[in-house]
Chains A and B, each alone.
Chain A
């Protein structure tokens, strides 16, 4: 390897910084243009419906199955810990609060990034490498409006709904394990839960979290696909980056949001 002069290293560092800034600027312009740019299609609802199906409905299976199992594991673990303090009735409120505040939004967003985000990035990346996007532009159709916008909206709508379904299924799974298997009294399970769960602080804050995650994950996925190098290697890199960046962004943002919502500043 060739030895680099210190000045050359500084130049490379500066170049990397400028690249990051340029990508951030490009992605912001891309998002704003796709969402609020002018011009729409008569069949934009049909386009959105199609994307809601492939982004939302097809992710339902993995979300429901993981929801059930996470709820059951939470109940089992919570019961074995709480039983040592003789307060196994609190297992209901523990399962509900854990799912509503943290696990529901975060795990659903991670699953969504893996299941739907990678598919979005690969699909758009493939469209770019086979020059379908430029062909659309050639015949006077804005690909931002025709391809990108429906996918963004579908992601924004799907992820919060998936999170709600995940929460309900998880709490149901927890109730199944705690009440029918471990023998926690059903009345205290639901009663404790209803006493401790507050609609605005727990349920609504969870929904706000999942809205933020939906924006971030879908944005990263669609932009990585749209911005990738139009080669097969570029598509694979874009897909990997989508999952990695989206997961990191979700986990980092989750800490900030939790600190803002429950940190008592």
Chain B
């Protein structure tokens, strides 16, 4: 009888541990299915300051993918951003625009895609041609200061 309660205790302990792992993966890290059901898109930006790997890719405020790599393109001296977009969002026209936006005034950077009007759709490995670079606060302040100095 003693050994039975002991085994029940150990069983409950193991179950609690596994349940904790399940909670951590589903509730805390919000894990989703593997990378198979997504496709790659590329975009070239003049400036990606603040954008990072794992940043969100959104459309109309809904997260539809994430940034997987940012490299420098050796020929054009621009930044090439690789994005993984969910497979069920395969309805992006080829003239869609990708812009680097900021959540809040000083928040994290993310890529927002706005829809174009073309009939042709972007496929795996395609490049988004129309892009808008990230807004660098220092440049903006610099321009503003220059303007006020010129006025005087």
Contacts and interface: CB of A to CB of B under 8 A. Distances in A.
Contacts of A87: 104, 107
B13 A161 contact: yes
Interface in B1-48: 3, 6-7, 9-10, 12-14, 16-18, 20-21, 23-25, 27-31
A167 B7 CA distance: 25
A164 B23 CA distance: 9
B13 A203 contact: no
Contacts of A60: 13, 16
B13 A52 contact: yes
Contacts of A96: 28
Contacts of B104: 87
Contact of B25 (A46, A165, A171, A203): A203
A193 interface: yes
Contact of A193 (B3, B16, B28, B31): B28
B56 interface: yes
Interface size class of B (residues with CB under 8 A): 20 to 34
B26 to A, nearest CB: 9
Given A193-B28, A194-B29, A203-B29, A49 B17 contact: no
A163 to B, nearest CB: 9
Given A161-B13, A165-B20, A197-B28, 12 more contacts: A46-B3, A49-B10, A52-B13, A53-B6, A53-B10, A100-B28, A161-B16, A164-B24, A165-B16, A193-B30, A198-B54, A203-B25
A57 B10 CA distance: 6
29 contacts: A46-B3, A49-B3, A49-B7, A52-B10, A52-B13, A52-B14, A56-B10, A57-B9, A57-B13, A60-B13, A60-B16, A96-B28, A158-B13, A164-B17, A164-B21, A164-B24, A165-B16, A165-B17, A168-B20, A168-B23, A193-B30, A194-B30, A195-B56, A197-B29, A197-B30, A198-B29, A199-B25, A202-B29, A203-B24
A10 to B, nearest CB: 52
Interface residues of A, number: 30
Contacts of B54: 198
A100 B24 contact: yes
Contact of A171 (B3, B7, B16, B28): B28
Contacts of A153: none
B10 A190 contact: no
Interface of A: 46, 49-50, 52-53, 56-57, 60, 87, 96, 100, 158, 160-162, 164-165, 167-168, 171, 190, 193-195, 197-199, 202-203, 207
B27 A190 contact: yes
Contacts of B107: 87
Contacts of A195: 30, 56
A203 B14 CA distance: 18
A197 B30 CA distance: 8
Contacts of A158: 13
B20 A164 contact: yes
Contact of A194 (B12, B17, B28): B28
A161 B29 contact: no
Contacts of A100: 24, 28
Contacts of A199: 25, 29, 31
Given A161-B16, A161-B17, A164-B17, A203 B28 contact: yes
B20 A53 contact: no
Contacts of B25: 199, 203
B40 to A, nearest CB: 19
A48 B24 CA distance: 27
Contacts of A162: 17
